[in-house]
Structure 1
Amino acid sequence: MDQRISLITLGARDAAALAGFYDALGWVRTDSPDGVIAYDLIGQTLGLYPLEKLAEDIGVNVETLGHGAATYAYNVAQKDQVAPLLAKAEAAGGKILRAASDVFWGGHIGYFSDPEGHIWEVAYNPFSPLGPDGAFRWNGYG
């Protein structure tokens, strides 16, 4: 098995409203006839799918899905890019959970949640510089 994540699917109580949030961040969406709203990223796709349909796909009750303890990270090339992205998320309807600040390991991060509570980290990691196309690798591309 190759080391990759091809698609991250977020179960959405209101997929159209949640898509409006990601649209407001400037992401370009693709709608499909099967009800998935997709955003093609660098090397992956983020999908929004109605929560009930996701539970049906898996074969479980909606209550079984719960609210997992997961975060999704958006890394940036420069420290001064963190705060403006948090502000953009807040203006789009997100909630700031942690303001942009330095962290003990030498980076600069902040957290926000989208309107349905999915948690995103915006991070500058000086030890993992982004590739020329903006791709992330844990120890950079040096």
Structure 2
Amino acid sequence: MERRLSIVTLAVSDLDVSTEFYRRLGWSRSAASNSSITFIRLKGTVLALYGREALAEDAGVDDAKPGFSGVTLAYNVSSEIGVDAVVKFAVSCGARLAKAAEKVAWGGYSAYVADPDGHLWEIAYNPFFPQDEQGHLVLPE
């Protein structure tokens, strides 16, 4: 597992308000965004804004339970087999499997693992987000 971070996803209460806030900061919304999620290209990583309930549902956790911080970290790989391998490796290192790998509605394949403190990592293959030679996601402008 390379030492890199693909996406930081923030759970937000109002996607439009949060998107506008980041736009005012001068951060542009990528064309990969849609009505459910905003992607913002940063240097070497991506910031995603996603509804809080939707993020909890995607991660397979209860939003009402203490411990869900509303932040997930993503580690993207270039294949479904890569997802399975990274999840297996993370679990062997002490991560807890939070949600088994599966094909997801947006067209990719992902799983969630939690570190010893419960911080959620999404391990994902997204066929719509290619990676450059350093493993950074390539998003459209």
TM-score (norm 2): 0.51
Q: Give the conservation status (yes or no) of the 8 Å contact 1:111–1:120.
A: yes
In percent, how many aligned pairs have the same letter? 37
- Within a 5 Å distance, the mapping from 1:46-125 to structure 2 comes to 68-125=69-126
SS of 1:127 mapped into structure 2: coil
Answer 1 or 2: higher relative contact order, Cα 8 Å, separation at least 6.
2
User: Which residue of structure 2 aligns with residue 6 of structure 1?
Assistant: none
**Cα distance in 1 between the residues matched to 2:139 and 2:94:** 30
Q: How many residues align?
A: 82
**Residue deviations 1:45-101 (CA, integer Å, cap 9, x gap):** xxxxxxxxxxxxxxxxxxxxx762110000101121001111111111110011111
User: Which residue of structure 2 aligns with residue 31 of structure 1?
Assistant: none
Q: Name stretches of at least 5 consecutive residues in structure 1 with no aligned partner.
A: 4-41, 45-65
Q: Give the conservation status (yes or no) of the 8 Å contact 2:130–2:137.
A: yes
Larger radius of gyration: 1
101 and 69 in structure 1: CA distance in 2 versus 1, 3 angstrom threshold: same
Alignment root-mean-square deviation, CA: 2.5
**Residue deviations 1:11-55 (CA, integer Å, cap 9, x gap):** xxxxxxxxxxxxxxxxxxxxxxxxxxxxxxx947xxxxxxxxxxx
Q: Name stretches of at least 5 consecutive residues in structure 2 with no aligned partner.
A: 1-24, 28-42, 46-66
